[in-house]
Structure 1
C-alpha cells in the first residue's frame, strides 16, 4: 500500500475502549475462565494480548495480566481433544475449532510482531504454536455443515499455512474455494445473514485473500457490503428480516460492519464505504480489543478514511439512505420518503415439512417507521387448518406496486382403494404437508380446501397502502401490527392480554414524541374472528412460538373479497 495518513484519533479511541473492555472482565469475570468454552477463552486471550502489546494501552506490559493469560492457555489446552479439535455443541468440530484457531493465529502474529518480546509473550507463542500443531491434520481432513463454515475453515488453514506452509494445506483451501463463493446475484451470501456476513464470511474471505494473494475474493466482499448499504437503520441496527439464520428474529446491531467498510474504504478509496464507516464509528465499538489487534495486523484499518459525502450528524448519510432499494433474491424492498421508511419482505422459503434452521421463515411482511415511531412487524395470521400466518410464496413488482402471494391447501382423505388395503391395517408413515401419520396419504383420493391470499403493497410519500385479496375458503383473519414499546396508542380498545389492542373502526395512531404512525381502517369485532396470533401447529406442537415482541394492535375480519389498509407517517408540529 502507498504511504497514507494514520488515523490517530481512531486508533486512540480503539485502544481506550479495548482497555475498558479488558478492565471490565478482569474486574468481574477473571476467575470464570475455567467454565468458558474454547471460543470465548481464546477471544479473551486475544484481548489480553492485544492490550498487553499495544503501546497506547494502559495495560502495556502489565505483569498483572500474566496470570489471566496463563489461565486462558490452561483452559484451551484442557479443551483441545485428542484429535486436535475442540468440542462444543458440535463435537470434534473442524469449523468450530476454526473459529478458535483463527484467533490463535491472530494472537501468534500479534505476539511475533511485537518489538522486544518478553518471557510471557514467548510462552504465549510457544503454547499457542503447540495448539496449532496438534490441530493441523484434523483441520485439513475435516468437514463442515453450513455454507459459511467452508470459509471460516479455509481462513484458519490459510493463516496456519502462512505460519507453517504445507502443500496439503494449500491444496485443501483450493478444494473448498473450487466450490465457488455462495453469493447471490443481489450481493447477499446464500444464508442472507448480516450476522454471518460480519462474523464469518466477509472476515474469512479477507483473511484468505490476504494470506493467499487471492485478490479476486475481495470482489465478493465489495459486492456484499455494497448490497447492505441501503439496509442500515438510523437506530444503529441493520435489517435482517430476510436472513435464513437466527438473526431473522433479531434486531441486529450494525457495529460489526465497521472494520469491513473501513478496510475497503481505505483500500479502494470509496466514498460510499467511507460514509458507512464514519457513521458506524458513531456507534459503540464491537469487540474493541479484537479490533485493536486487527488495526495492528491489517494496515488498511489504521489509515485515515477518504472523503465521504457530508451528512447530518443525526441522520444516515446519503449512500445509506437511497429512496429505493431492493434485494431481489431475498424478496426484500425498501422505500424512503417524507421521513418514513417502509420495508417489504416477501422472500420466505418453502415450509415443507415445516420450520427449520437454515430457512427464511419470518412471517413479517412489512416494517414501517417514522422517526422514533416504529411498526416493527406487520403480519397476517389466518385460521386455515393451523398452517400459520401468511408467508409470501411469490413476490413480483408490478409498476409501482409489490405483489406478494400465497396459495395454501389442506386435505381430507377418502378411504383407501381396495388394492391398497392391508389386512394388518399398518400403512406407510407419510407427511402430507401439515400432519404425519401411518395412513399412506399418497394412495388416497383427497378433498382439497384452498385459500389464496394476495397482498398488493404501494409505498409513496410517507404512506403505505395494502390491498389484501382472499380467494377460496371463508374463514377468519387477524392483521397484526406490532409496535416497538414506548409510545402512546389512540383510537384502539383493549383486546384481552396486557399490551394487546384492537382497532374496530376508523383509524388509530401510535405516537412517540412528535412522531406518529396512523393506521387503519378498523373493522368491527367478531367473536368468530379472534384478535390473536397463531404461529401454526409446527410451532405450537413443540410448545414454541415465533410471535413478535411489542405492543400489538389487531384488525380482524373474514377472508371474503378485498380489504384495504393504509399506514401514514407524520410529525406533529410544535
Structure 2
C-alpha cells in the first residue's frame, strides 16, 4: 500500500494559541518546575505509596499479581533513596522478604508463575521488569540487613531467567517483553544464554509499518513494546531499537484526544472496544525527550503529567525508574508545543484523524475481512466519532436488515477533492442444487462457510451455482471544515431495506430536540429538524433528522446474534431510520 504523505511529525503553534483550548493542555507547555522540585514530588509520591503498602501487606499474600513486583521495587526504592522518610528503615525489610518468600513459593520448578496464564513465560517476564529494577537498585546498596533480600531476589530472578531462555510466547508483543526481561537479568547476572535467546527473537524482526503501527495495532501493547525496546536498546547497546519507538510515539500523539484518551478503533486487540489513555506512554516520551533532546516529546510528557490518574498510576512508581537509570535525572529539554491543527490520513489502517484545537473527528474504514470475532482481528463498526471539548459522540454506526448482514464495515477509505469516502458492497446469493457429479447420496458434504460469509453449514457452498443475487451498496462521504462535518449517506439495494444510523453520545450529557423511544431510557429518535447534545459548557449540534419507523434491534446481524452477543455500549443512543433507496445528508459540529 502506498505510504501516506507525511508532514514533519509536529507542527508548532504559539503558546498564545495553546492557551485557547483549555483544558487540554492548560499551561502544561510553559509551566516551570525545577528538576529539584520535580524529584521531591517523585520521592513524596513514593513515600505515600510505601505508607499504603505497610498496611496492605500486613495480611498474608494469597495471589500472584504483577503489582507485587512494583510493591517490592517501591519498598526498595524508599529504603535506598537518601531523601526518603523511609531511608534505611528496618521496618521495610520484613515486607520485602515477605513478597520474595511468597514469589519463591509460587514459582514452578521451571521458573514460571501462574498468573494471566498457566506456567507462563511471558507473564513471568512482566513481573520480572520491576523485580529486576529492584535488584539493580539493591546492587548499589551495601547495607548488611539487605543480604537476605538480595539473595532471595536473585534466586527468583535467575530461576525465572532459565524459563525465559527456553520458554515460548503467545502474541507478538510477548517476544519483546521476554527479551527485555532477559536483558535486565543479563545486566544483573550475565549469561551468554540470555543474549543468545534475545537475538533469536530479534532475528524475527521488529515489525512497524510506515505510519508507526506495530503488528497488533494496539495502543495498549504499543506501550508495552516501546518500553521493552527502550530497555533492550539501553542495556544491550542496540540504539537502532529506538527507531521504531520514535515512530510509534509520533503516531500515538496523532491518536491522542484532547483529554488524553487514545483512539483505539483501529486496534486488532481487545482495546479496540475499551479506550485507554496516553498515561501508559509517559516513560517512553520522557526517556526519548531526554535521550534525543526532543522538545516535542518533552511537551507531551509534560502534558501527561497534568492528566487525571498520573499521580496514582505513574508518579507513585517513578522513583524506581529514577534510581535504576541515571538518564532520568538529566535535564529535560524546554518543551515546545506540538500542533493541535492537523488532518492525518493513515492509509495502512484506513484511519483519519482531524483536529481543530479542542475539536476532533475520527473516521475508520479498516476492519479485517472477513469479519471474524477473534483477538487479533479488527472488527469495530464505529466508522465516525466526534469530540468538541467535553461533548463527545463516542461513535456513529450504520446497519440494515439486508439478510441480517448487520453493521456497515467500510472496505477502506479514499480521499478525493477534500472529501473522505467510505464504501461497502455486499452480494448475497441464493444457492442452486449441486452439480450431479458432486452430489452425495448420504448428504454429508463439507462443513463450510457460505460465500457471503454469513453462516456455516454442511452445504458445500463454494461448488453450488448461485442465482437471484441481491446487492447492498453503501457509500458515506465525509467533508470536514473548521471542526464541522457534513456526512452524505447513500444506500442502494432492493426497495424497502431498512437503514438505521446510530449515534452514541457519552453518558452523563443531555439531549434536546429528540423524541424518546419507549424501548429504553437511553434510546431516542430524530425524525426532523436538528438536535443538540450538551455536556458541561460544550455542545454538539446534529441533523437534520429523517422520518422513518424506528428499527433499533438486531443491528449486529447474524455474526454477533448467533453468539448471543451485543456491541451496544453505555451512552445516549439516537437513531435515524429510513428505507432503501436511501439518501440523506446531515451535519455535525
Q: TM-score scaled by structure 1?
A: 0.91
Tell me the alpha carbon deviations over residues 340-398 of structure 1, each in whole angstroms, 9 at most, x when there is no partner: 2111122222234x211011212111111112211111111222233321111211111
Q: Equivalent residue for 1:19?
A: 47
8 Å Cα contact 1:337-1:460 kept in structure 2? no
Where in structure 1 are there 5+ consecutive unaligned residues?
A: 310-317, 569-574
- Provide the C-alpha distance between the structure 2 equivalents of 1:330 and 1:11, rounded to a whole number of angstroms: 40
Partner of residue 365 from structure 2, selected from 335, 346, 357: 346
Cα deviation for residue 404 of structure 1 reads 1.2
Contact persistence 1:154–1:176 (CA under 8 A): yes
More displaced 10-residue stretch of structure 1: 383-392 or 529-538: 529-538
1:38 deviates by: 4.4
Map 1:156-305 onto structure 2 (within 5 A): 156-198=181-223, 200-283=224-307, 284-285=310-311, 286-305=313-332
Using a 3 Å threshold, how does the CA distance of structure 1 residues 386 and 273 change in structure 2: closer, same or farther? same
The alpha carbon displacement at 1:328 in A equals 2.4
Equivalent residue for 1:109, pick from 136, 157, 163: 136
Q: Which moved more, 1:425-434 or 1:131-140?
A: 131-140
- Alignment deviations for residues 4-59 of structure 1 (CA, whole Å, 9 cap, x no partner): x982222222222233233334435652621x224232232222222232223333
SS in 2 for 1:91: strand
Query: Matched residues in 2 for 1:30 and 1:541: separation?
Result: 48
**How many aligned positions are there?**
549
Cα distance change of structure 1 residues 458 and 67 upon mapping to structure 2, 3 Å threshold: same
Rounded Cα–Cα distance in structure 2 between residues aligned with 1:32 and 1:559? 65
Q: Partners in 1 of 2:70 and 2:494 — Cα distance?
A: 55
Contact preservation (8 Å) 2:340, 2:357: no
Query: What corresponds to 1:86 in structure 2?
Result: 113
Q: Distance in 1 between matches of 2:339 and 2:59?
A: 43
Correspondence list, 1:254-403, <5 A: 254-283=278-307, 284-285=310-311, 286-309=313-336, 318-319=337-338, 321-337=340-356, 339-352=358-371, 354-403=372-421
Offset at residue 507 of structure 1 (A): 0.7
Q: Is 1:44 the equivalent of 2:71?
A: yes
2:20 match = none
| 2:465 equivalent in structure 1 | 445
Mapped contact 2:57–2:95 kept (Cα < 8 A): no
How is 1:78-157 mapped onto 2 (pairs within 5 angstroms)?
78-114=105-141, 116-119=142-145, 121-157=146-182
In 2, the alpha carbon distance for the partners of 1:544 and 1:465 equals 32
Q: Deviations over 1:512-537 (max 9, x none)?
A: 233221111111131xx513462233
Q: Is contact 2:179-2:232 (8 Å) kept?
A: yes
C-alpha distance in structure 1 between counterparts of 2:42 and 2:275, whole Å: 25
What is the CA distance between 1:131 and its match in structure 2? Answer: 1.4
Q: What is aligned with 1:8? A: 36
Indicate whether 1:515 and 2:563 are aligned. no
- Three-state SS of the structure 1 residue aligned to 2:552 is coil
- Does 501-510 or 392-401 show the bigger shift? 392-401
The answer to whether the Cα contact below 8 Å between 2:227 and 2:283 also exists between their aligned partners in 1 is: no
Query: Is 2:459 aligned against 1:436?
Result: no
Distance in structure 2 (CA, Å) of the matches to 1:146 and 1:129: 28
Please, what TM-score do these two structures have when normalized by structure 2?
A: 0.89
1:59 and 1:233 map into 2 onto residues whose CA distance is 39
The alignment's C-alpha RMSD in Å is 2.1
Distance 1:8-1:532 versus aligned 2 partners, 3 A rule: farther
Q: Which of 454, 461, 469 is the aligned partner of 2:482?
A: 461
- Post-superposition Cα deviations, 1:539-571, rounded to whole Å, max 9, x if no partner, equal 232322222321111111123142212102xxx
Greater Cα offset, 131-140 or 395-404:
131-140
The residue matched to 1:410 in structure 2 has which SS?
A: strand
Q: Secondary structure at the match of 2:199?
A: helix
Deviation at 1:406, TM superposition (A): 1.6
Shift of 1:113: 2.3
Name structure 2 gaps, 5 residues minimum: 1-32
Distance verdict in 2 for CA 1:292–1:326, change over 3 Å: farther
- Provide, for residues 90-142 of structure 1, a one-character-per-residue CA deviation record: whole Å limited to 9, x for no partner: 2222211211222221111011123x4242x3222211211122233331122
Distance in 2 (CA, whole Å) between partners of 1:68 and 1:536 is: 54
Worse overlay, 502-511 or 167-176: 167-176
